[in-house]
Amino acid sequence: MRKLIYAFVLALAVNVMAEEKHDYPYQPVDFTKVKLTDKFWHPRIETNRTVTVPYAFKQSEKTGRIENFKVAGGLSDKRWTGGFGFNDSDVNKIIEGASYCLSVKPNPELDKYLDELISYYAAAQEEDGFLYTYWTAAKRAGAFPGARCRPRDNDRWSNIHEAHQLYNVGHMYEAGVAHYLATGKRSLLDICIKNADLVCKTFGPDGLKDPPGHQEIEIGLAKLYRATGDKKYIEQAKFFLEMRGRHGKKDTYNQKHKPVLEQEEAVGHAVRANYMFSGMADVAALTGDKAYIDAIDKLWENVVGKKLYITGGTGALGRGEAYGDNYFLTNYKAYCETCAGVANVYWNHRMFLLHGDAKYIDVMERSLYNNVLSGIALDGKHFFYNNKLATTKHGRKRDGWFGVACCPSNISRFLASVGGYMYAVRDASIYVNLYGQSEADIKLGKRTVKLTQESEYPWKGVVKLTVSPSKKTEFALNIRIPGWAKNQPVPSDLYTVAPGNEVKWEFSCKVNGKNVEAVPQAGYAVITRKWKEGDTVEFDLPMEAQRILSHEKVQHNVGRVALQRGPIVYCVEFPDVANKVDAVANLTLADSSKLKLEHREDLLNGMTVIASKGRFVKEEQDFDAGIETDFFMIPYYAWAHRGQGEMIVWMKRWGKK
């Protein structure tokens, strides 16, 4: 009998070992292993930790988002405090961001606050694992305000198309994993597992088949699979994707119009779409299903070739917060929701982790430095929900909070983890994807490589890397050559450098002070050698101001020009026009006008501006008849900090053929 048991156990072990384990071929270096010390990102991350996260929790208390958990759990005598069905997700995202903050810097007060908050979750969770305060708290109070987010017919799983039962818990799974990794506590993770087990029992081939109206749970399930090793979670994520276009109401708004593997154009609500594309990447990597890779490759080509804003924003339409038609990229009515920008970063990072090509980091970086950063003020407590590329004299100001607060909560979790996008590894290779003063401890096989980066990026292009492996080791150092340094604003023909503005530059570098040749590969300069402690690599990226033109099919940009320098897109804002005798919309830049760079430490926490001369030229006028003025342009992310007024990214252009 013992021999039979031993043979059975051995056979089982062999089968488990034989089961192929899939994952992203390229692995990111976790943000907890990267310490940013630069003047650009470090202050923002600290502001996020000390201002944005505490502020977001206070707003969640003030608006009843947290109280609803207490009401649902019978811990409060108050009635349902109202709000939307997706309000739970805001608290989940802030918990995730707070957990990231705890990962890099202990904070006993915040740790205690999270413990108390999680106790409300435990109380609000129903016995079988269900957790949706819009249902439980409102049912306890005997009132269901509104209709869109409400389950109907006394069925908590009804109205999946409009309600947010699954969207909320997707964000909760992400928060639960983050909290567990940060603290080692299973309090929230166990709540997540109990809920996910219920979801897996409820939805499946023999159960409910309708996919969620708002994608996100797919990403959360993938993270839960990583944390627990339970394969049913990633299989459930794939099931939800497989059901889109096959069950429930067919609708382009939430990408249910056709099966995901048949979709070739990005349509509908941009946040939903970008979350779905990220979830598809997770399923592709973690299940090894190549069909999913082929599908998101096509969708990526569509977005980057026809639907991406110069700022890295996505979603041209305010109505439905949606992707527009191909080449439909408005400016004054541009939507470019902050959440869509964050999701675009997630998606493009995953695309890199699948393919290892720098072009995905090019798109990620563009969105990161422009669309995403525009969404939060320098003070850390004022926000844009959508990010226009032009405004009238009435201008805009960032708000302190929103009734629909997905963007502030989303950016609070994102900024805490920015360091995790800088480096990656595969086998005996390290990838340097983003630049900025930093220190990283990178696990490469059985050894650790300490990588120190000295840089004043994005204002200066000089970069020095100090490589210190724990033991002399041969590996490949892959240095990303940004697309903008090669006269390619984006990896498509959607935007091009204006003739005469091309950078005349070729990558060159020195190792320990001596010139070396690097091998170009997939957008990287690759240096392979036996590295020892203290080896240095030095190179200089071309930080020249460049005029950028749109594809001729982008009608809103015909006869217009935008400026960028490095990863930063620039805009003209009303305070920076010296002789403002007309609308900023009529300010015209000639192809022959010189562009002068000036670094201003006294302006908006320090930045490099682009100064030039232009003329106010109306439609019927010749350029020479316009009134001349000096002006300068600031980085797009910093607009709307000095009052309300005109702003424009795409200026009128004079001198075009």
CA–CA distance, 581 with 29 (Å, rounded to integer): 52
The total of other beta-carbon atoms located within 10 Å of residue 493's CB is: 12
Predicted pLDDT of residue 78 = 84
CA–CA distance, 299 with 307 (Å, rounded to integer): 10
Predicted pLDDT of residue 145 = 60
CA–CA distance, 292 with 297 (Å, rounded to integer): 8
Average pLDDT over residues 18-36: 89
Each residue's pLDDT tens digit, 227-276: 999 999 999 999 999 999 998 888 999 999 999 999 999 999 999 999 99
Each residue's pLDDT tens digit, 437-481: 999 999 998 899 999 999 999 999 999 999 999 999 999 999 999
Domains, the chain, with CATH or none: 63-249 (no CATH), 424-480+506-540 (2.60.420), 545-654 (no CATH)
Each residue's pLDDT tens digit, 478-526: 999 999 999 999 999 999 999 999 999 999 999 999 999 999 999 999 9
What are the backbone dihedrals phi and psi of residue 579, each rounded to the nearest 5 degrees, phi first?
Answer: -115, 75
Nearest Cα neighbor of 29 from 330, 481, 368, 451 is: 451
Each residue's pLDDT tens digit, 376-429: 999 999 999 999 999 999 999 999 999 999 999 999 999 999 999 999 999 999
Sign of the torsion formed by the C-alpha atoms of 240, 246, 251 and 256 = positive
What are the backbone dihedrals phi and psi of residue 74, each rounded to the nearest 5 degrees, phi first?
Answer: 75, 20
CA–CA distance, 323 with 429 (Å, rounded to integer): 37
Average pLDDT, the chain: 93
Each residue's pLDDT tens digit, 120-146: 999 999 999 999 998 888 777 776 666
Token match 């869509």: residue? 340
The share of the chain scoring above pLDDT 70, in percent, equals 95
The share of the chain scoring above pLDDT 90, in percent, equals 88
Each residue's pLDDT tens digit, 171-207: 999 999 999 999 999 999 999 999 999 999 999 999 9
Nearest Cα neighbor of 410 from 183, 92, 131 is: 92
Which residues 6+ apart lie within 8 Å of 407 measured at CB? 337, 338, 339, 375, 383, 384, 385
Predicted pLDDT of residue 629 = 96
Average pLDDT over residues 206-221: 96
Q: What is the DSSP letter of 176?
A: H
- pLDDT above 70: residue 34: yes
